[in-house]
Amino acid sequence: MTRRLIVLASLVALLLAAAIAELALGAVKVPPGEVLDILFGSGKTGPNHQIVESLRLPRTVEALVVGAALGVAGAILQGALANPLASPDVIGVTGGAGFGAILIIVLFPEKIALLPIGALVFGLLAAALVFVFAWTGRNRGSIAKVVLAGIAMLSLFTAGTTGLLAAFPEKAPSAIFFLAGGLTSSGWESLDTTWPYFLAGAVLVVFLIRPLDRLALGDDVAASLGSRPQLIRFGAAVAAALLAAASAAIAGLLAFLGLVVPHVVRMAGRTSSQTFVVPASALGGAALLAGGDTLARTVRAPIELPVGPFMVILGVPVFLWLLRRAL
Amino acid sequence: MEAAAPTLAFPLPLEAYDVRVKIGGTAIVHGATLQVHPGELVAVVGPNGAGKSTLVRAICGLQRASAGVIAWSGREVRSLRGRELARLRAFVPQRMPVPAGVTVREAVTIGRSSQLRVLGRMTRADRDAIERAMARAEVGRFAERALVTLSGGELQRVQIAIGLAQEAPVLIADEPTSQLDLGATVEVAGLLRNLTAEGLTVLLVVHDLALAAAIADTVVVVSKGRTVAAGPPRQVLTPERLADVWRADAWLSEHDGRTALHVAWLGQR
């Protein structure tokens, strides 16, 4: 119990540090004290105020929201599918979102503002198709059926994406940034469109935490305790689809985060109880994305590296090291 | 067996009449009737594939029955919501997946969560129920250990504790000893018998006839999807019935609370 509290407290500290770094660092360095002044309004106006409030603050909030959403989406999918490999990939969301974004880039290059909508709509569409195939017919809602339908849909949409890029190679440069995953300083617009999806996903998750713990003891135990296993899995998949599609709309494809963060917090907390794993994954995901984005913006400044691959390259060795120690 | 109408005036904890179950169009149970009286230990026995587990799952509300009546304390299983049912009976499946990173106490707490409202918090009474369940199933000693570190017998007792945390009047277990060695079987059998003495009503699916004869008040024989006999073990598990249902030349003996099944393993000499 105390171990969990220590982990949660450390994650909160990391998250605050990452958020302040994201606000303070960059081409213009703003001292942390001034950042706090700007945020909590001892009313200075000036260039630093502009930079922090209209460029870095929206980006920081995006990083925190997307990081938390992907961490939670991974945690609940791994729980619901009793599968350590589960991430928003396996319900088709990532594949669909990628296709939707590339479709906008290729077909409506003059309306690039539609890109988040394309990613969101196709991400949810792919997940909906997975649900249609996985939750009908025999053994509806079984783990194998969900995972197989999801992987099939992922392959289909990924093939569509690759096909489009091969047919329109001149569009590839603008597509790469989205596929790699990264944040932009485009203000509050993308959050304006996506917040209802994040909110709906988050509310659903709150109701799923306890049923998911029951599901960990198997479908029979969960059912005998009064839960409906297929319904829990469906709810978890819907919540993860909402969170991951909205995340993809803002930040492109960052699947790695959703896969890894829940494992790291389980290892750190030495428990897979969802009452711990879900909030810890939210904090950890937010801290990781904000911290990763700060690094990606600053290591080769003024060049901004896309945070997706950067995080993966830094994250994989850490993850493998943890894996070796844990198993 | 003649199917009678349920007696609703003084409902038994569990009654099932002429239950039929189809799985994927195949009839697995076609005509099963049983009654469970308060405070007794009932053993459902029968050959492999007779439909014992399917019958018990249908009784528990985990599998839809295509026909028949299943009543828990006089209330039809179909009319009960999951959480209501969880107050009337606990079900211990044959094998529970053993998730990593879950301790015994956490698992038993999950069992208790069936009694909470959606998003409701644990009260003092709930925490007491968890402690009581762990004490009764004798798992308190290793309450903080992870499930993955337990032996088969310990894990079975934890599964029973998960059921006990529901504080339902009836506990149903599907083959609770089939994976256990002799010593662990003796332990679990003693535990189930003690729980019955404390007033719990217990229904088990059992493979081992000598074990069923030793611990059960009533034995229900299932053969080819039907209940074919029910009563005290010695009256029901006769050499004729063993020959008829199990196609084995065998008889049960009992001496000083020890039971044995004497089998002509290689047929008649």
Residues of chain A in contact with residue B119, where contact means CB-CB under 8 angstroms, are 206-207, 210
Give me the pLDDT at residue B105, please.
96
Dihedral sign computed on CA atoms, order B22, B228, B59, A232 = negative
Residues of chain A in contact with residue B106, where contact means CB-CB under 8 angstroms, are 213, 271, 273
Interface mutation vs chain B, best among A224, A263, A266, A273, most B CBs within 10 Å:
A224
Domains of chain B plus CATH, in order, are: 14-263 (3.40.50.300)
Give me the pLDDT at residue B8, please.
52
- The pLDDT > 90 percentage for chain A reads 52
**CB within 8 Å: B116 and A210:** yes
**CB within 8 Å: B83 and A226:** yes
Split at pLDDT 50, 70, 90, the class of B98 is very high
Q: Nearest CA to CA, how far is B139 from chain A (Å)?
A: 17
Q: Nearest CA to CA, how far is A81 from chain B (Å)?
A: 12
Residues of chain B in contact with residue A227, where contact means CB-CB under 8 angstroms, are 82
Bridge partners of B251, per DSSP, are: B262
**Pairing mode of beta strands B41-45, B201-205:** parallel
The A-side interface with B (CB below 8 A) comprises: 82, 138, 206-207, 210, 213-214, 216-218, 220-221, 223-228, 266, 270-273
Q: Tell me which residue in B86, B99, B162 faces A226 most closely, judged by beta carbons.
A: B86
Split at pLDDT 50, 70, 90, the class of A102 is very high
Could you give the CA distance from residue A115 to residue A89 in angstroms, rounded to a whole number?
Answer: 19
Q: Which of B5-19, B66-80, B83-97 has the lowest mean pLDDT?
A: B5-19
Residue B24, burial from CB neighbour count under 10 angstroms (0-12, 13-18, 19+):
exposed
**CB within 8 Å: A220 and B116:** no
Q: Nearest CA to CA, how far is A290 from chain B (Å)?
A: 28
Query: Average pLDDT, whole number, for chain A?
Result: 89
**CB within 8 Å: A216 and B113:** no
Global pTM reads 0.90
Could you give the CA distance from residue A11 to residue B58 in angstroms, rounded to a whole number?
Answer: 46
Q: How many residues in chain B?
A: 269
User: Which distant-in-sequence residues (6+ apart) come within 8 Å of B8 by Cβ?
Assistant: B71, B74
Split at pLDDT 50, 70, 90, the class of A321 is confident
Q: pLDDT, tens digit, for every residue of B154-204?
A: 999 999 999 999 999 999 999 999 989 999 999 999 999 999 999 999 999
Give me the pLDDT at residue B2, please.
47
Q: pLDDT, tens digit, for every residue of A240-295?
A: 999 999 999 999 888 788 889 999 999 899 899 999 999 999 999 999 999 999 99
Q: pLDDT, tens digit, for every residue of B164-173?
A: 999 999 999 9
Rounded average pLDDT over B98-109: 93
Q: What is the CATH number of the domain that holds A59?
A: 1.10.3470.10
Interface mutation vs chain A, best among B89, B110, B150, most A CBs within 10 Å:
B110
Higher pLDDT, B114 or A184: B114
**CB within 8 Å: A226 and B106:** no
Rounded average pLDDT over A100-116: 88
Rounded average pLDDT over A132-144: 84
Could you give the CA distance from residue B102 to residue B108 in angstroms, rounded to a whole number?
Answer: 10
Tell me if chain A has a CB within 8 Å of the CB of B178: no
Q: Tell me which residue in A82, A224, A273 faces B91 most closely, judged by beta carbons.
A: A224
Tell me if chain A has a CB within 8 Å of the CB of B121: no
Rounded average pLDDT over B17-31: 93
Show the domain range for A145.
2-326
pLDDT exceeds cutoff 50 at B1? no
Nearest CA in chain A to B121: A210
First to last CA, chain A: 22
Q: pLDDT, tens digit, for every residue of B219-253?
A: 999 999 999 999 999 999 999 999 999 999 999 99
Nearest CA in chain B to A268: B101
Q: How many domains does chain A have?
A: 1
**CB within 8 Å: A224 and B90:** yes
Bridge partners of B17, per DSSP, are: B69
Q: Nearest CA to CA, how far is A206 from chain B (Å)?
A: 8
**CB within 8 Å: A217 and B110:** yes
The helix (H) or strand (E) run that includes residue B70 is strand B67-72
Q: Which of A189-198, B3-12, B241-250 has the lowest mean pLDDT?
A: B3-12
Q: Nearest CA to CA, how far is A313 from chain B (Å)?
A: 28
Rounded average pLDDT over B86-95: 93
Split at pLDDT 50, 70, 90, the class of B256 is confident
Tell me if chain A has a CB within 8 Å of the CB of B119: yes
Give me the pLDDT at residue B9, please.
59
Rounded average pLDDT over A165-192: 86
Give me the pLDDT at residue B6, please.
52
**CB within 8 Å: B81 and A226:** yes
What is the value of ipTM here, to two decimals?
A: 0.89
